[in-house]
């Protein structure tokens, strides 16, 4: 058995290597201990403990081993930022992509052992886009957010409307909108009103991707007989102040056009140590007088300024996520492996290893979003019983596991695993 922690820390590095590898049920305690050591700047002891954890983790083991592996990589990178080299840190200048059970290394420009290193994990955009589609397929979280947001938009914008304009912040592949188009076409067949003109303004960081997304949506709209326009809005950086100041001129609203603003897993990117920029952005959105604003976010507090608190929140959140994947997917699932290593692994790296302006994954719990939205004049729109029935049907048909739990709190929906809420979605006007 592994000796007590005091014995471990008092031993030499070579003696620690001879200790028996910890059991999986103690791995989380050791991860927390390691993070605590780093928070106290006891880097040599943390490095010894990391070597033990690394030997008992694997990206191909059970959910505990896979999760420990990701957090060990992130802690190793944090140690590297402090000038403490470890054998478990990711190699600068590489991005991990997964095929079968092996890692393929694709190069990106070399970078140092600080926050710039984290940007390497974003350099292979095609891999990230592929992972996003896998995440959408193997977990219910994105589909749940899209389905519920679409229903909120449909209910806020009743039949008879001549035109609908949707601003979708970070539209990506546009997978949210074909079901809404279908619903608009179906609704018009049951009424005397023709389907409304639909315009979507989609934001993104790659103009080619935006154009391809617009072309796909246009073809689908034409197949349904819908009048449709797509307007790409290129965002060159994450300067939220600049976006907020230019938003009114960048968005063209037509007379008698109902406006819906869609922010699915988007707003948290602009959280900083203070919320002034984000509040300015929300004020500008409110000034557009939208009929409805839909917001989906992670139900987690990863914006803690203190490292150890943030680490504990992240470990709790991602443990539930990895447990859900363990229970609902086969052990040899390539998609699960890619999502865990690349998508969630990238997030864990950012939450654990980055600091200051370089940290982007700053999730907040619903209470914070609620307070912020109300402070700029938004009022909550209760999600309907039909939206709830749809969400339950989605879980039953596509993700038939009793582990997924859907809750209604404060007129908003929360989707989680077992008793752990992981995502929230709400509607506002």
**In a shared domain, residues 308 and 260:** no
Low-confidence ranges of the chain (pLDDT < 70): 1-25, 87-123, 159, 190, 237-241
Q: What is the pLDDT of residue 159?
A: 67
In a domain, 101, yes or no: yes
Q: What is the pLDDT of residue 389?
A: 95
Determine phi and psi for 50, rounding to 5 degrees: -60, -35
Q: What pLDDT does 239 receive?
A: 66
Instruction: List the alpha helices (DSSP H) in 190-267.
Output: 207-224, 240-250
Same domain, 350 and 368: no
56 inside domain: yes
Query: Are 284 and 151 in the same domain?
Result: yes
pLDDT in tens, 330-358: 988 999 999 999 999 999 999 999 988 88
Residues 271, 187: one domain?
A: yes
Domain-embedded: residue 290 = yes
Cβ atoms of 2 and 8 within 8 Å: the answer is yes
SS (H, E, C) 121-186: HHCCHHHHHHHHHHHHHHCCHHHHHHHHHHHHHHHHCCCCCCEEEEEECCCCCCCCHHHHHHHHHH
Domain contains 392: no
Q: Do residue 349 and residue 369 come from a single domain?
A: no
pTM of the model: 0.86
Residue 272: the pLDDT is: 83
Q: Are residues 195 and 262 in the same domain?
A: yes
β-pairing, 404-409 vs 380-381, is unpaired
Query: Do residues 16 and 113 share a domain?
Result: yes
Single out the residue in 289, 319, 354 at which a domain terminates. 354
d(CA 208, CA 335): 25
Q: Can you give the residue range of the structural domain that contains 116?
A: 5-123+302-354
Whether 228 maps to a domain, the answer reads: yes
Distance (Å, whole) CA 119 – CA 122: 5
Residues 348 and 370 in one domain: no
Q: What whole-number distance in Å separates Cα of residue 206 and Cα of residue 233? A: 10
What's the confidence (pLDDT) of residue 88? 61
Residue 135 lies in a domain: no
Q: Examine the domain organization and report whether 227 and 249 are in the same domain.
A: yes
Structural domain includes residue 46: yes
Q: 346 and 287, same structural domain?
A: no
Q: Tell me whether residue 389 is in a domain.
A: no
Cβ atoms of 69 and 332 within 8 Å: the answer is no
Give backbone dihedrals phi and psi of 113, rounded to 5 degrees, phi first. Answer: -95, 50
> Do 24 and 90 belong together in one domain?
yes
* Whole-angstrom Cα Rg for the chain: 23
Looking at residue 227, which CATH number applies to its domain?
A: 3.40.50.150
Structure tokens given for 303:
């914006």
Q: 339: buried, middle or exposed (CB in 10 Å: 19+, 13-18, 0-12)?
A: buried
Number of domains present in the structure of the chain: 2
Tokens of 105: 């290394």
Same domain, 196 and 80: no
Looking at residue 270, its pLDDT comes to: 85
Q: What are the tens digits of pLDDT across the range 170-209? A: 999 999 999 999 999 998 876 777 889 999 999 998 899 9
CA-CA distance, 145 to 159, in Å (whole number)? 23
């Amino acid at each position: 058995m592994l000796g007590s922690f005091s014995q471990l820390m008092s031993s030499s590095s070579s003696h620690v290597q001879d200790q028996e590898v910890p059991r999986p049920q103690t791995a989380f305690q050791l991860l927390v201990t390691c993070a605590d050591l780093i928070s106290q700047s006891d880097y040599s002891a943390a490095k010894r403990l990391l070597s033990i954890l690394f030997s008992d983790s694997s990206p191909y083991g059970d959910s505990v081993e896979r999760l420990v592996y990701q957090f060990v990589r992130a802690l190793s990178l944090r140690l590297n930022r402090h000038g403490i080299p470890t054998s478990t840190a990711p190699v600068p200048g590489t991005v991990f992509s997964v095929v079968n059970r092996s890692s393929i290394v694709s190069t990106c420009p070399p970078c140092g052992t600080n926050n710039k290193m984290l940007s390497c994990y974003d350099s292979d955009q095609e891999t990230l886009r592929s992972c996003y589609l896998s995440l959408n397929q193997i977990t219910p979280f994105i589909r749940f957010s899209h389905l519920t947001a679409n229903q909120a938009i449909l209910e806020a914008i009743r039949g008879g409307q001549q035109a609908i304009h949707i601003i979708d912040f970070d539209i990506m592949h546009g997978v949210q909108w074909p079901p809404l188009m279908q619903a608009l076409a179906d609704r018009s067949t049951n009424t005397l009103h023709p389907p409304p003109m639909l315009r979507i303004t989609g934001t993104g960081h790659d103009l080619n991707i935006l154009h391809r997304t617009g072309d796909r949506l246009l073809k689908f709209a034409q197949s349904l007989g819908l009048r449709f326009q797509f307007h790409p809005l290129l965002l060159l950086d994450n300067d939220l102040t600049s976006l907020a100041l230019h938003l009114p001129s960048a968005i063209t609203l037509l007379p008698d056009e109902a406006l819906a603003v869609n922010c699915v897993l988007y707003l948290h990117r602009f959280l900083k140590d203070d919320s002034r920029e984000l509040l300015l952005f929300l004020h500008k959105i409110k000034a557009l007088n939208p009929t409805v604003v839909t917001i989906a976010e992670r139900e987690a507090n990863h914006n803690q300024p203190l490292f150890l608190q943030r680490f504990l929140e992240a470990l709790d959140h991602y443990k539930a996520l990895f447990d859900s994947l363990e229970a609902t997917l086969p052990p040899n699932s390539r998609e699960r492996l890619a999502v865990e290593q690349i998508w969630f692994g990238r997030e864990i790296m950012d939450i654990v290893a980055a600091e200051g302006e370089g940290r982007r994954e700053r999730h907040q719990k619903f209470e914070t979003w609620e307070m912020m939205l109300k402070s700029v004049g938004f009022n909550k729109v209760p999600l309907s019983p039909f939206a709830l029935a749809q969400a339950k049907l989605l879980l039953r048909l596509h993700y038939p596991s009793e582990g997924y739990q859907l809750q209604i709190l404060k007129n908003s929906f929360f989707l989680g695993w077992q008793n752990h809420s992981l995502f929230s979605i709400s509607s506002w006007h």
